Amino acid sequence: MSVMTTTTDKPVLLVTGGSRGIGAAICVSAARQGWAVAVNYASNRAAAEAVVAAIEAEGGTAIAIEGDVGRQDGIDAIFAAVDETFGRLDGLVNNAGIVAPPQRVEEMTADRLDRLFRINVSGSILCASAAVRRMSIRRGGRGGAIVNLSSIAAVLGAAGQYVDYAATKGAIDTFTTGLSLEVVDDGIRVNAVRPGIIDTEIHASGGLPDRARALASTIPMKRPGTAQEVADAVLYLLSPSSSYVTGAILNVSGGR
């Protein structure tokens, strides 16, 4: 992918899976708060370019970057584009993730599990690895912040629907704790957000397009959350307002 070098004094944020839903809300909110934003997408170029256009229409700085976080060459391409375009990296949001159609555990296949864990877990770990190499003050970087997207499913288990997805998010919780301790001396803070039932397109991709509204009555706050409400939590954890927060996992779940 050919990109143009952009000189900016703004801090640079990479959001994986930034073209839709929660990721798109994070990108737009980050730009409003002064970040230059790298909007990563796996296949939907039009959606990513629409996010970039929305940011630029408000005077912000953004670029769309193609790359599949489930592949090492995709991750390499993402970070190479960030390097070439901005020459710096100050924040990473590991938002890219997938969910498979509802199944009981005894029905799950190795191929299903491999895809889920490759994208949701390995992809997040490898993206964080690449970000640490660029942000670590011990490697000549400026420090920075990483926010991982977990899920309240990591706590609740998602029995009868997405136990495998819940397991990937449990892994993200553990990874958040471990990485936060490992890179604290590198000037990097690492935190996570656990969304609950959020009204986004991910439910349709898992075969249950009406899931958020159907489950509203089971949520203590009696409604699904919005992508913007999750984005607000992520931006807090990226911001100087959370300068003494690392290793935290913030539930944005309406009380679930």
Q: Is 162 marked active-site?
A: no
For the chain, the C-alpha Rg in angstroms (whole number) is 17
- What are the tokens at 250? 């913030």
Of 41, 165, 236, 244, catalytic: 165
Distance CA 182, CA 202 (A): 32
**N-terminal to C-terminal alpha carbon distance within the chain:** 42
Is there a contact between 102 and 161 (Cβ–Cβ < 8 Å)?
Answer: yes
Question: HSE on the CB side for 223, CA within 13 Å?
Answer: 3
The single residue listed with the structure tokens 């991750």 is 75
Q: Is the dihedral of CA 29, 79, 75, 194 positive or negative?
A: negative
d(CA 124, CA 16): 9
Strand partners, 208: none
Positions marked catalytic = 165
